[in-house]
Amino acid sequence: LYHFFEKSNDFIHMVTRDIPDKNVLVHCYMGRSRSVAIVIAYLIKKHDMTMDEAIDYIKERRPQINVNTSFLKQLAHYERTLKEESE
């Protein structure tokens, strides 16, 4: 999933930038793991949230999220990579 973070971030950003006050639907089969990981990656990059902040933000709105361990590891790596790039 890591390899899709930049492309999905760019797409979400493009849509929200070009169409103010519109929502972007990010979905997967159960709506608890894969789609949530994509949204977390977006929040980390475009809204300068930490992974934990992004998870808490989403969990307040969708309590049933359950991101699998592999995706969480990829998100942690993504967060570290972005932090290193900004230093």
Q: Which is catalytic among the residues 28, 30, 62, 70?
A: 28
Is the pLDDT at 8 greater than 90? The verdict is yes
Q: Which pLDDT does position 23 carry in this prediction?
A: 84
Reduce the DSSP state of residue 9 to 3 states and report it.
Answer: helix
Average pLDDT score over the chain:
93
Distance set, CA 43 to CA 34, 77, 78, 81, 87 (Å): 15, 15, 12, 15, 19
Q: Is 28 a catalytic residue?
A: yes
| pTM reported for the whole predicted model | 0.92
DSSP characters over 42-69: HHHHHS---HHHHHHHHHHH-TT----H
- Give per-residue pLDDT as tens, 22-49: 888 898 888 899 999 999 999 999 999 9
